[in-house]
């Protein structure tokens, strides 16, 4: 993944990992590298993050273990160029991340696109817990109906159970704090494309810390060791 670059792969991986994992600015990383005798411009570090975060996430998804059949669905607002956009998120009953999707709008169309993505990658859940959002409820009902009509397995699929409870959905509200904690010091993204890429990287690190990779279940690998595996 990192062959043929001017800088050593260990330097690139270190900068990408530190930026996605900790509350550091690009200029912080530039100074930290300089203190180690490595002269690299903050703009170059930014290019590394945008270039390699999607590839690392893709490799992680290939190694991601299965989720349970009970999901919690919610989201949070993210500022991009002064506008509040929406990050849809779903976790399972164990607190593991099921899926996430960054959208310029929060409406029925966006919720359905997010759910279609989650269903295609992870299969049908038994049930989904949401808050009082009627839009999310309509999206689940619509996607569930479409999924059952398109099924060719011959099985009689049960409808996805929907539970609307703000109290029961506190689990996902707690989970998103890890993502918001890293995003907050950035003071907003400069573009939707950059936000999409970096949020994907932040979510990947969050899943790593929760041990969601198949190889991490019993090995208790550090973030550095997991990054090395993905970039190998």
Residue 9 near residue 20 (C-beta atoms within 8 A): no
CA–CA separation, 42 vs 65, rounded Å?
A: 35
Give first-to-last CA distance, the chain, whole Å: 7
For residue 125, the tally of other CB atoms under 10 A from its CB is 22
What local confidence, expressed as pLDDT, does residue 186 receive? 87
Q: For residue 2, is pLDDT > 80?
A: no
Residues of the chain with CATH 3.30.420.10: 70-175
User: With the CA atoms of 217, 231, 99 and 106 taken in that order, what torsion angle do they form, in degrees rounded to the nearest 10?
Assistant: 150
Q: What is the pLDDT of residues 102-115, one digit of tens each?
A: 999 999 999 999 99
Q: What is the pLDDT of residues 26-41, one digit of tens each?
A: 999 999 999 999 999 9
Q: What is the pLDDT of residues 10-26, one digit of tens each?
A: 999 999 999 999 999 99
Report the pLDDT averaged over residues 197-210.
96
What local confidence, expressed as pLDDT, does residue 1 receive? 64
**Which uninterrupted H or E stretch holds 88?**
strand 83-92
Report the mean per-residue pLDDT for the chain.
Answer: 91
Class of CATH domain 70-175: alpha beta
Residue 85's alpha-carbon distances to 101, 132, 163, 196, 225, in angstroms, are: 11, 20, 26, 11, 33
Residue of higher predicted confidence among 204 and 219: 204
- pTM for the full model? 0.92
């Amino acid at each position: 993944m990192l062959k043929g670059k001017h800088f050593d792969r260990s330097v690139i991986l270190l900068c990408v990992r530190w930026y996605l994992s900790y509350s550091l600015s690009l200029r912080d990383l530039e100074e930290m590298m300089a203190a180690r005798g490595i002269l690299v411009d903050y703009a170059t570090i930014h290019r590394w993050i945008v270039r390699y975060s999607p590839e690392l996430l893709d490799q992680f998804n290939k190694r991601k273990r299965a989720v349970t059949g009970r999901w919690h669905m919610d989201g949070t607002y993210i500022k991009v160029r002064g506008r509040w956009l929406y990050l849809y998120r779903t976790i399972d009953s164990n607190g593991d991340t099921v899926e996430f999707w960054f959208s310029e709008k929060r409406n029925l169309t966006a919720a359905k696109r997010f759910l279609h993505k989650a269903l295609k990658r992870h299969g049908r859940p038994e049930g989904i817990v949401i808050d009082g959002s009627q839009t999310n409820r309509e999206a689940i009902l619509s996607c569930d109906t479409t999924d059952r009509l398109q099924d060719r397995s011959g099985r009689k699929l049960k409808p996805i159970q929907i539970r609307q409870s703000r109290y029961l959905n506190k689990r996902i509200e707690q989970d998103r704090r890890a993502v918001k904690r890293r995003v907050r010091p950035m003071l907003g993204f400069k573009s939707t494309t950059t936000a999409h890429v970096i949020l994907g990287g932040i979510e990947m690190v969050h899943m790593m810390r929760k041990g969601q990779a198949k190889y991490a279940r019993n090995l208790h690998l550090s973030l550095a060791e997991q990054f090395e595996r993905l970039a190998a």
